[in-house]
Structure formats: C-alpha cells, structure tokens
C-alpha cells in the first residue's frame, strides 16, 4: 500500500515527574479517520495539541506528513503547522466577524473570486447560508461548531484534528454533521484524527480507533477489532457506553 500519509512516532510529554503521554505511535492514510478514545485525564487533548504544533513534545518524538518531518522543537511556544488544522472545543471564532467572514479568514492568500466561491460552497454544505451575516454570539453552539469546521477545511488542509467534534449537537444535527464530515474527508482525501468521550460518535464515523489509558496507547485497530478486544479497560469503556442503552431498552419492554 505504500507509505502512510501521516505518521506519529514515539510522541511523549511530561511535566516534571508527571508523565502525560508515553511513546505514542500511529499512522493515518489520506481519506482515513482515526478516533482516539479514553477516559478523562488519558491525555487526549494534550496529544491533539502536540499533533497540531501548539505544544512541544519530549525530545524523542517525530511527526511526518507525506514523508516530510515536521519541526516539533521550534523555539516559539505556539506555531500551528500550515498543513494541519485543529478545531478546539472552544472554536476560537472571531466574535466581531460575521459567520461568512470567519470562514473567509482561512482564505486570505487566494483571489477574491475563489474566496467567495469557496465560502458560499461551505456555507451551503454546512447548512449555514441563512446565518452568513450573523455573528458568533447570535448563533447556537452547534452552529458555531459547524462554522469552526467549515473554516478549518476552507483552505483544504492535509490533516484535520478535531476535539470532541459532536459535543454541542443534538441527535439530528449530530448525524447530519457526521455525514458532511465523511463526505468532505473522503472527497478531499484529508487524514483526520479526532478525540471523543462518546463511543457512539466514534463507531458512526471512524475507520480506526486508538485507545488511550493513562497516557499510553494500549490499542489501535478497526472498530470491529476494538469491539472484540479482551483488554479489561477497553471492555469497561464499551460496557459503560452501552449500559444506558440497555437500561432504556429494558424500561420500554412490553
């Protein structure tokens, strides 16, 4: 199959004696979605911030995009990689810019005609056309989330990083956003990594799953492989995710 498009090797992070991440390695191909799951404090958000260039890892780590090594050890504290887009949970939209202008901010290097065409396309794709002249404070949390994702993919990044991408959405909008993301990632051949605490979100979109436990990547595999894992931690995660559904089904049995 050739070389993987995105590679993370031996990523680690510690603060003094506290080890946050230890020896994290995985691969993602173009058009592929890797979901990273784990309990609170497992290191999911720290990992995403390292992968985007917002936090320096320990010295031994390496990240490659299309076989090119990224400079993880820059002197500046924050330096986002141009080919990688991170969508944090707080979205970081410009509060005084319209929804359309927030998306357009990612396209300043392109011509005015292309910018308008791309923004209009993304507004339609994400169901935001009727909100294009509103400001972030005038729309819902889910609409902010869709705006942030549209802005992130506006200039066609090679790698997309998502932190809890469905957390502010109701069931209907969550399913719609899943379909949109799948279409965009597969069509534009983006390598996607996202973290989530909700296994139902993961099962609905992921090609592969990585499981973090106390800063260690204890398993990486397909959805089916993870579902059939015999590791106690993974079995507990899956059992806890399905328990509310089982209880509900019992409650409606006739």
CATH of the domain at 247: 3.40.50.300
Query: In this predicted structure, what is the pLDDT of residue 219?
Result: 94
Buried b (16+ CB within 10 A) or exposed e, 148-166: bbbbbbbbebbbbbbbbbb
Residue 164: inside a domain: no
Query: In this predicted structure, what is the pLDDT of residue 41?
Result: 82
pTM score, two decimals? 0.88
- Other C-beta atoms lying within 10 Å of the C-beta of residue 202: 21
What residues of the chain score a pLDDT lower than 50?
1
H/E segment holding residue 175:
helix 171-187
Query: In this predicted structure, what is the pLDDT of residue 32?
Result: 95
Query: In this predicted structure, what is the pLDDT of residue 40?
Result: 81
Residue 85: inside a domain: no
Residue 135: inside a domain: no
Helix (H, G, I), strand (E, B) or coil at 191: strand
Q: Which domain holds residue 31?
A: 1-75+196-254
Residue 215: inside a domain: yes
CB 185 within 8 A of CB 156: no
Pairing between β-strand 68-69 and β-strand 84-87 as defined by DSSP bridges: unpaired
Residue 19: inside a domain: yes
- How many domains are there within the chain? 1
Query: In this predicted structure, what is the pLDDT of residue 210?
Result: 95
Residue 227: inside a domain: yes
Query: In this predicted structure, what is the pLDDT of residue 222?
Result: 93
Residue 68: inside a domain: yes
What one-character-per-residue DSSP string does 145-157 give?
Answer: HHHHHHHHHTT--
The CA distance from 59 to 196, in Å, is 27
Terminus-to-terminus CA distance in the chain, angstroms? 52
Residue 11: inside a domain: yes
Query: In this predicted structure, what is the pLDDT of residue 200?
Result: 81
Angle at 205 between CA 203 and CA 211, to 5 degrees: 55
- Other C-beta atoms lying within 10 Å of the C-beta of residue 39: 15
């Amino acid at each position: 199959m050739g070389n993987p498009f995105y590679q993370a090797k031996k990523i680690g992070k510690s603060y003094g004696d506290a080890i946050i991440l230890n020896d994290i390695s995985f691969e993602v191909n173009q058009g592929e979605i890797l979901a990273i799951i784990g309990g609170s404090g497992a290191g999911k958000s720290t990992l995403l911030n390292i992968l985007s260039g917002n936090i320096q890892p320990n010295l031994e780590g390496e990240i490659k995009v299309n076989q090119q090594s990224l400079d993880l050890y820059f002197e500046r504290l924050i330096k986002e990689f141009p080919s990688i887009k991170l969508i944090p949970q707080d979205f970081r939209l410009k509060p005084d810019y319209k929804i359309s202008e927030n998306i357009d901010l990612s396209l300043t290097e392109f011509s005015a005609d292309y910018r308008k065409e791309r923004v209009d396309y993304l507004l339609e794709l994400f169901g935001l056309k009727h909100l294009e002249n509103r400001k972030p404070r005038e729309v819902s949390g889910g609409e902010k989330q869709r705006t942030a994702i549209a802005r992130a993919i506006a200039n066609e990044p090679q790698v997309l990083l998502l932190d809890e991408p469905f957390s502010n959405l109701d069931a209907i909008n969550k399913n719609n956003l899943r379909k949109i993301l799948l279409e965009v990632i597969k069509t534009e051949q983006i390598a996607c990594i996202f973290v989530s605490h909700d296994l139902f979100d993961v099962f609905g979109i992921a090609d592969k799953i990585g499981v973090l436990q106390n800063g260690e990547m204890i398993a990486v595999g397909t959805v089916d492989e993870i579902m059939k894992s015999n590791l106690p931690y993974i079995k507990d995660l899956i059992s806890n995710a399905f328990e509310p559904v089982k209880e509900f089904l019992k409650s409606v049995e006739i």
